[in-house]
Structure 1
């Protein structure tokens, strides 16, 4: 792997953790709960969040400078996802993963 700073390594880990958390939470918890958890806007946001997290991690692992763009977008979507998961409720692990990822990605986008 190319020369990765400890800050980038942490961001990759946070992105992959958020990807896993959003996807698994959506596919298990949200589908089981129904109601607000499966409303289209909320569910789409969780899917978008998972995918941008995966993409940002991928771009950092590849070693392209374009990660700055994906990380900027990732931070924005993660913040939105965290707020929406908080609004829906009973999704604290997702909220935490999204916030950690957003913070890391904001540093990488700078």
Structure 2
């Protein structure tokens, strides 16, 4: 088993949780709700957020120092996704997962 710091493991867990939440919410809740939920810019942002979270978790799991860059980008995308999900409404679980992931990723991105 690979050893990660507690902070990194918490960030990996937050990224994977956000990945699952964004992808699942987009594919089920948003597609079924329609309207603003399937607005192209919103739907693409959710897809980008899910993929960035997955990629950041993957990079952290490799042990590469490049995780600082992916985590910084992930924090920005998660924050934008949370804001947009809040704007659309009815997506509290997605907003929470994105904000939590953004916070963990901000800390990881800032680590030396």
Alignment of 1:19-98 (within 5 A): 19-98=19-98
**Cα distance in structure 2, aligned partners of 1:9 and 1:51:** 18
Runs of 4+ in 1 over 2 A off after TM superposition: none
- Partners of 2:21 and 2:3 in 1: CA distance: 27
Count of paired positions: 110
> What TM-score, normalized by structure 1, do the two folds share?
0.98
CA shift at 1:44, angstroms? 0.1
| Offset at residue 3 of structure 1 (A) | 2.8
Distance 1:87 1:33 in 2: 15
Q: CA deviation at 1:54?
A: 0.2
Q: TM-score with structure 2 length normalisation? A: 0.97
Give the aligned CA root-mean-square deviation in angstroms: 0.6
| Pairwise CA distance, 1:95 | 0.1
| Number of the residue aligned with 2:3 | 3
Deviation (angstroms), 1:92: 0.1
C-alpha separation between the residues in 2 aligned to 1:98 and 1:82?
Answer: 5
